[in-house]
Structure 1
């Protein structure tokens, strides 16, 4: 008997967690063929990309190899990029894979499915702002994070030579006052201290200037005002120049132009304002919103095709009467759990349950200096406000919970022990 094939496109936080759960239940018991498709060969938890971008996170220590992970958790990994979708024949068209020199590694091919789950995450939304694509870094993937780190270290090194300095202070502009922008701003000061301590550059944290620009009236507009005010005060105490209510209308080489025509001279720019689903999703013949997110029912099935599901940042899932589930890692993990149950029900001919999002709160890391957030939120409660040591421990636990979902308790415990040992055996940041 031919097993039903469940294909998951995208190995991010939600996609990898779903593949792991389905592999442990359906794949291990030979009830379905579980396939995870991703263009990369390894997984890095996206909320840690700002640490990878500053070198605080060593990707070789924290990344998950899909091939090794798939063999241990009873699913199949295929490397590839989605190029097209034939819903009538239930086939995916995959683009050719080429290496760094443009040489074809794998040709274009097809992949059949019985059930398809889109878990492609999101990318930064530049809103068509002129010059952003050419003059700003994005931090949507490990490759982009590593590219920023290389440019950051080179910029610090150039600043050491007075003849190569462009400004009195080494200036970094970050557009977007959401979690990524806020956390990156704090990490940059920590990174500058460590680069100086390890002798990589003579630039001290007092010689760098970080401008954080947010178009909304306050930082972290999706979180409570108390969290926003606390975070802004913490950043300003570090030395970050915070601009709220400030839109960017253009990016140029070594400068940002605000909507009020103010020019901010910079050495390095990062764009972290807004997100959207990968634009090609709007070309697959499925209904999408203006952010290219696939419109789904509360069961997470596409409104156009019950055999296709979407989850995480690339899904427009109803929440209440007018809203949608927010694009957060906790939402992706909750949807992975729900989809694992619903796909099992689908194979058994049972009805599918609606997804119900539960906001457990949000935490923002300010490097090793602090963390701020709230936990145990609900429709009738703002939750418990946290900051300081307790918030830092709670923030760290989020990554352990992700590891627990994809590795299990034993391996997560060993990973925690290895991390503790590496604090004494290795430098605190990746220096190359």
Structure 2
């Protein structure tokens, strides 16, 4: 019989794992022929994007190149941006690939028998005027690199001119908090490497509309992180709503303006535009696809969704599943285990989500975390080197899953050795 065409759109934490693990597996009497679609050429672990943006890590050294991963694990990689799904003909539509205003590769389609949407999420501007025009995001690898390129130019320019550089970050979740700390760290590194006055010329303002930072984390973690940020000289403003953004900065409710030369929007979560083109599917207010206990959409059993772009309905769970790498990874493992049987018409136990806690790393300054309800110690609090090690191990564990124990361990060793001979931040 012909191979079963399994198409995965989105090569993030969940999508790349699925393509890697399921390529060539059997589903009944058919072989899974897996195609991964992504608009990037390589993947950087999403919880590391803030380090790429701040230049304390180099994307070229941390990325997984899709074409190379596809060659070594037996799936196909299709470079391009998915812009629509035709459920009737079971096709994913891809935008043309262009350069310098010319279309190099025209629009095309990819046929599927089963489709998995793992397209992640992006920051939610909530319709705030000026965000799209004046704010940068770090939602993906290209955005993080673009922000880093501009950061290095602006910091050098402001130091040379003797004027301060103010960076405003909207969003007090893990991304905003970790980015703020990394920016202070890169200024310290720049000064040590000869850019005199870099620390004195950098000001970071972190704005959060809620009553405290790190809302999903326990109060103890949020409080410790807030105190450390303030010790680092970061201006933390909670309970502050941004009503508009322009070239000068952020306009706040009540009429105040927070000036900022560089502006980052890291608030909220919403699904990517692709899901607007998947017609006839149930979605929640954030645009995420509603999925059932096996992560299949209830409207179309041939379409699955997981990770940040999905809103699972799990029996016995009142609240939503958090949009974290932890949740995406758990559901990718579920589909890796059960999707071949489900495709063949079999049954599978319902997916679940278990909270193993969370960790937030403030660069080299400190780290904090909780072990969660299912951790070794119920609700345990971690900080310092133990938390930093735990944060690093999450990444190393993911590398081992993607590349195998031998290659994952080698990558860890090479990265560790490289840190001994490379500057602690990208300076060129």
TM-score class normalised by the smaller sequence: over 0.9
Task: Return the match for 1:327 from 315, 323, 328.
Answer: 323
What stretches of structure 2 of length at least 5 have no aligned partner? none
For residues 194-213 of structure 1, the aligned pairs below 5 Å read 194-199=189-194, 201-213=195-207
For residues 13-412 of structure 1, the aligned pairs below 5 Å read 13-23=13-23, 25-26=25-26, 31-99=31-99, 101-162=100-161, 165=163, 169-199=164-194, 201-285=195-279, 286-319=281-314, 320-378=316-374, 382-412=378-408
Q: Secondary structure at the match of 1:93?
A: strand
TM-score (norm 2): 0.95
1:159 and 1:203 in contact (8 A); partners too: no
1:313 and 1:327 in contact (8 A); partners too: yes
Any idea what the Cα deviations from partners look like across 1:118-154, whole Å, max 9, x if unmatched? 0000011011111111111111111111111121112
1:254 and 1:269 in contact (8 A); partners too: no
Matched, 1:430 2:426: yes
- Note the C-alpha offset of 1:243: 0.6
2:357 and 2:375 in contact (8 A); partners too: no
Task: Call closer, same or farther: CA 1:67–1:173 in 2, change over 3 Å.
Answer: same
Greater mean deviation of Cα atoms: 169-178 or 210-219:
169-178
Task: Call closer, same or farther: CA 1:318–1:380 in 2, change over 3 Å.
Answer: farther
Partner Cα distance (1:111, 1:357) in 2: 31
- Note the C-alpha offset of 1:93: 1.6
Task: Call closer, same or farther: CA 1:184–1:414 in 2, change over 3 Å.
Answer: same
2:24 and 2:32 in contact (8 A); partners too: no
Greater mean deviation of Cα atoms: 356-365 or 381-390:
381-390
- Note the C-alpha offset of 1:110: 1.5
Partner Cα distance (1:171, 1:93) in 2: 41
> RMSD of the TM alignment (CA)?
1.8
Q: Secondary structure at the match of 2:23?
A: helix
Q: Secondary structure at the match of 1:323?
A: coil
Question: How many pairs are equivalent?
Answer: 425
- Note the C-alpha offset of 1:172: 1.3
1:248 and 1:257 in contact (8 A); partners too: yes
- Note the C-alpha offset of 1:102: 2.5
Any idea what the Cα deviations from partners look like across 1:152-202, whole Å, max 9, x if unmatched? 112111212337x3xxx3221111100000000000010001112222x32
What stretches of structure 1 of length at least 5 have no aligned partner? none
2:24 and 2:34 in contact (8 A); partners too: no
Q: Secondary structure at the match of 1:123?
A: coil
